[in-house]
Structure formats: structure tokens, C-alpha cells
Amino acid sequence: MLSAYINSIGTTYTHGANFAAGSSTIMRQNKSYFDGGSPFTLEIQIAQFNNFKLRTGKFFTEANESSYRKHFPKPEDFAKALYTFDIGQNDIVDVMTKMGKEDSHVLISNIVELFSKQVQ
């Protein structure tokens, strides 16, 4: 199991980091956390990943001793990494609940297009 990126104290990220957040969606939600929404849309998670990549690269470069460097991935490791995404189920359930099967095709296509743009 990978360590959560947000739990950085004493964590080693040499095998990766977990950016998952429960109830996350691809599209921005018009709900509060208390209504079952998540503030961590895919857009936010990708921004957090990009920030993580910049910070770990900086820390790796600035670390003078190998004992510190072992906690961070090498900057070149990001190009060799495997990335998986498990998101969008809540978007589809929300669309199907509000619109029904017949009217949901266009919005589901928009969700897929947004996902594609965000992960490029």
C-alpha cells in the first residue's frame, strides 16, 4: 500500500504516493462535504500531484546526504512510473440519478472528455 501524499511525516515515497480521496469526482460538485461531496476533484488531485512532484524534486536535489535522499523519488523516476486512476463513478451515479439513462449520454461524454483533458 502506498503512503498518502498528505501524510508526509516519516513517509518514504520511493515506491509512490497515494492521491486518492473518497467520494472524489471528475467534475466540480455543487455540494458541500456534509452533503456527501468531496472537495478533492480530479483537478485538485492533479494539482496536488504536480506540486508533490516539484517539491520532492527540490528536496531530492537539495538533500546532501543519501540518508535523506532515500525518502524521495528521483526526479527521473516520474517518467518511468505507472499511474492508475479510479474515479468517475460518483459523477456517473449523480448524472443517472438526476437525469435518467436516456438524457445522460451527453453529460457522460462531457465527463469522459474532461477526464481526458485533465490527465494529459
Bigger pLDDT: 79 vs 70: 79
* DSSP state at residue 49: H
Tell me the mean pLDDT in the region 71-86. 85
Over residues 38-57, the pLDDT tens digits come to 888 999 999 998 998 998 88
Label residue 26 by pLDDT band (50, 70, 90).
very high
Check residue 8 and give its pLDDT. Answer: 66
Angle at 62 between CA 53 and CA 68, to 5 degrees: 85
Check residue 30 and give its pLDDT. Answer: 76
Task: State pTM to two decimals.
Answer: 0.80
Over residues 82-106, the pLDDT tens digits come to 888 889 998 998 888 888 777 788 8
Q: Is the pLDDT of residue 112 over 90?
A: yes
Q: Where is mean pLDDT largest: 23-27, 71-75, 98-102, 110-114?
A: 110-114
Q: Is the pLDDT of residue 12 over 90?
A: no
Amino acid at 12: T
Question: 120: buried, middle or exposed (CB in 10 Å: 19+, 13-18, 0-12)?
Answer: exposed
